[in-house]
Amino acid sequence: MADTTVPRFFEQFPMQKVVDTALDAELAKDDNRIAILFLWGRDCPNCDIAKRQMLLTPESFSWPQVRWLHDNVYDDPAMATRFGLHGIPAFFLFHRGRKLGRITSWPGTEAFVDAVDKQIGLTGASA
């Protein structure tokens, strides 16, 4: 059986860990940047596909107008309940504490980047 885990992902692609009870306070800190919340799970094959693709071209996911947050919903089921998750990975985009939208499943690098670029343009987010 092939190893499907990406154990050092968060060392190679730094994201701030956040839990459900601290999310609102964390989102309130956002200035004019978009926050992307990456909800994932340990040993989730689809999450690992997303992580591996993000590591292939990390520069594609490094916007100065974006800050990344993440949470393992298997360890924090309240976060999964809060967002009504039916599957992971799921990515939620916020601007100034307001939810802009969600990207569920992993659409691939190009579609993901296009969706985030569109939101950056719509919000006028800046670094």
The pLDDT assigned to 124 comes to 82
What is the percent of the chain with per-residue pLDDT over 70, rounded to a whole number? 94
Q: Tell me the C-alpha distance between 75 and 66, whole Å.
A: 25
pLDDT given for residue 30 in this prediction: 67
**70: in domain:** yes
Q: Does some domain include residue 59?
A: yes
| Residue 71: CATH number of its domain | 3.40.30.10
In a domain, 81, yes or no: yes
User: Can you tell me the mean pLDDT for 67-92?
Assistant: 96
Of the CA atoms within 13 Å of residue 59, those in its CB half-sphere come to 0
Q: Which residue has the tokens 């190009």?
A: 110
Contact (Cβ atoms closer than 8 angstroms) between residue 99 and residue 69: no
* Torsion 95-79-25-50 (CA) sign: negative
Return the closest-CA partner of residue 105 out of 34, 50, 43.
Answer: 50
Number of domains comprising the chain? 1
- Per-residue pLDDT, 125: 79
Looking only at the bridges linking them, the beta strands covering 90-95 and 34-40 are antiparallel
- Does some domain include residue 3? no
Residues 6+ apart with CB under 8 A from 111: none
What mean pLDDT do residues 27-45 have?
92
In a domain, 2, yes or no: no
Domain of 101, in residue numbers: 9-123
Whether residue 1 is contained in a domain is answered as no
Does a structural domain hold residue 62?
yes
Residue 4 covered by a domain: no
